[in-house]
């Protein structure tokens, strides 16, 4: 599928504190606007809700109508909806980023198994692992389908991947096999992130890197309740307790919440301020392929030793 090229558009001015994630061979943000976004995942073009896209789309309705699949229903991350296919589509298909290969599927929550804007963190973390010059242990909390875990392990880290969903763990292990990374040191843990990290503190386990990508709301395998505004401060204090004496990085992302990155930054200063290093906070944004317009997707706070 191809779309007509638009007239050249001046590249927009860049605000501060934005991590841009452009497309790659297997992904592109084609257009956005009127509360929707048009993206290409591999060879499949999808049209799905994006409430922050308040502007006018660049492409015509006719071009949007050529999407292979359209998600209808709630625009909330934790809300159900359904996909409408405009042609016969596979139940699953493959994508690749660097050495990692992963499976995409149409889920009932408007996602397909990967968050492309996270490539800004993927590159940042793997660079630090490769250049550490020492063993690196990474704890990936709320690890979902495991792309970050695979990339960190390929870069040389020993990874502990934690998720409360049995289905997500199974999906992540599928991705490990697909990537040919079965021999890499990844522990797959089905558990509540808060409880697991608390046990790691009691055991004296430590990590040079921690990744957190929590939902707004969730439940653990034994009915544990996660609510971001109530639970995040405790979670970050537990993370601080399991950081190694010479840590490398912490990367927190939060989606679909009505909150300022300044609030997360303030909490990060309080919890990690004694580490020195560099604390950054802001927004993750996808870059439209033709125009360079930015589509904000989430807020982030991250710390690194350099």
Claim to verify: residue 123 and residue 264 sit in the same structural domain: yes
Cβ neighbours for 131, distance < 8 A, ≥ 6 positions apart: none
Mean predicted lDDT score pLDDT of the chain: 91
In a domain, 9, yes or no: no
How far apart (Å, rounded) are the C-alpha atoms in residues 177 and 102?
9
In a domain, 75, yes or no: yes
In a domain, 4, yes or no: no
In a domain, 283, yes or no: yes
Q: Which of 177-181, 229-233, 244-248 has the lowest mean pLDDT?
A: 229-233
Claim to verify: residue 89 and residue 49 sit in the same structural domain: yes
> What pairing do the DSSP bridges indicate for beta strands 249-255 and 294-304?
antiparallel
Claim to verify: residue 97 and residue 168 sit in the same structural domain: no
Among the candidates 54, 76, 105, a domain finishes at 105
- φ/ψ region of 170 (left if φ > 0, alpha if ψ in -120 to 50, else beta) reads alpha
pLDDT value, residue 5: 47
* pLDDT over threshold 70, residue 83: yes
Per the model's pLDDT, the better-predicted residue between 243 and 55 turns out to be 243
In a domain, 5, yes or no: no
In a domain, 184, yes or no: yes
Among the candidates 84, 105, 126, a domain finishes at 105
Claim to verify: residue 89 and residue 133 sit in the same structural domain: no
Average pLDDT of the segment spanning 76-90: 83
Claim to verify: residue 58 and residue 83 sit in the same structural domain: yes
Contacts 24+ apart (CB under 8 A), 58-62: 58/6, 58/9, 58/31, 58/33, 58/288, 58/290, 58/291, 58/293, 59/3, 59/4, 59/6, 59/30, 59/31
* pLDDT over threshold 60, residue 19: yes
pLDDT value, residue 258: 64
Nearest Cα residue to 33 out of 67, 69, 65, 58: 58
Among the candidates 62, 85, 105, a domain finishes at 105
Claim to verify: residue 25 and residue 97 sit in the same structural domain: yes
CATH of the domain at 160: 3.40.50.150
Claim to verify: residue 271 and residue 122 sit in the same structural domain: yes
* pLDDT over threshold 50, residue 294: yes
* pLDDT over threshold 90, residue 260: no
- Residue 150 in contact with residue 100, Cβ under 8 Å? yes
Domain encompassing residue 290? 116-304
Claim to verify: residue 270 and residue 157 sit in the same structural domain: yes
Burial status of residue 197 (CB atoms within 10 A of its CB: 0-12, 13-18, 19 or more)? buried
- pLDDT tens string 23-37: 999 999 999 999 999
pLDDT value, residue 3: 55
Claim to verify: residue 61 and residue 163 sit in the same structural domain: no
pLDDT value, residue 222: 78
Claim to verify: residue 259 and residue 120 sit in the same structural domain: yes
Instruction: Label residue 216 by pLDDT band (50, 70, 90).
Output: confident
How many structural domains are present in the chain? 2
Per the model's pLDDT, the better-predicted residue between 41 and 263 turns out to be 41
Instruction: Label residue 261 by pLDDT band (50, 70, 90).
Output: confident
In a domain, 24, yes or no: yes
CATH of the domain at 38: 2.60.40.1180
In a domain, 12, yes or no: no
Claim to verify: residue 214 and residue 271 sit in the same structural domain: yes
Claim to verify: residue 101 and residue 120 sit in the same structural domain: no
């Amino acid at each position: 599928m191809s779309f007509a090229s638009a007239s050249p558009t001046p590249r927009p001015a860049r605000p501060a504190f934005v991590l841009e994630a452009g497309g790659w061979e297997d992904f592109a943000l084609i257009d956005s606007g009127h509360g929707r976004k048009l993206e290409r995942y591999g060879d499949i073009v999808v049209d799905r809700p994006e409430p922050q896209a308040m502007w006018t789309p660049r492409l015509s309705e006719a071009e949007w109508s050529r999407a292979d699949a359209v998600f209808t229903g709630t625009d909330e991350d934790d809300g159900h909806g359904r996909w409408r296919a405009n042609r016969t589509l596979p139940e699953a298909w493959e994508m690749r980023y660097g050495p990692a290969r992963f499976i995409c599927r149409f889920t009932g929550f408007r996602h397909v198994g990967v968050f492309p804007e996270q490539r800004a963190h993927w590159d940042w973390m793997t660079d630090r692992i490769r250049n550490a010059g020492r063993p690196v242990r990474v704890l990936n909390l709320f690890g979902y389908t495991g792309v970050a875990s695979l990339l960190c392990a390929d870069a040389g880290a020993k990874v502990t991947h934690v998720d409360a969903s049995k289905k997500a763990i199974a999906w992540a292990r599928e991705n490990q096999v697909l990537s040919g990374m079965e021999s890499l040191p990844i522990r797959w843990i089905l558990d509540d992130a808060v409880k697991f990290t608390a046990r790691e503190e009691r055991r004296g386990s430590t990590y040079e890197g921690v990744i957190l990508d929590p939902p707004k709301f969730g439940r653990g395998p034994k009915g544990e309740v996660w609510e971001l505004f109530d639970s995040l401060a405790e979670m970050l204090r537990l993370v601080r307790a399991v950081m190694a004496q010479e840590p490398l990085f912490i990367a927190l992302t939060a989606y679909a919440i009505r909150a300022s990155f300044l609030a997360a930054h303030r909490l990060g200063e309080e919890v990690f301020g004694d580490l020195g290093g560099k604390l950054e906070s802001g927004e993750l944004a996808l870059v439209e392929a033709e125009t360079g317009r930015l589509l904000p997707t989430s807020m982030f706070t991250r710390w690194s030793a350099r």
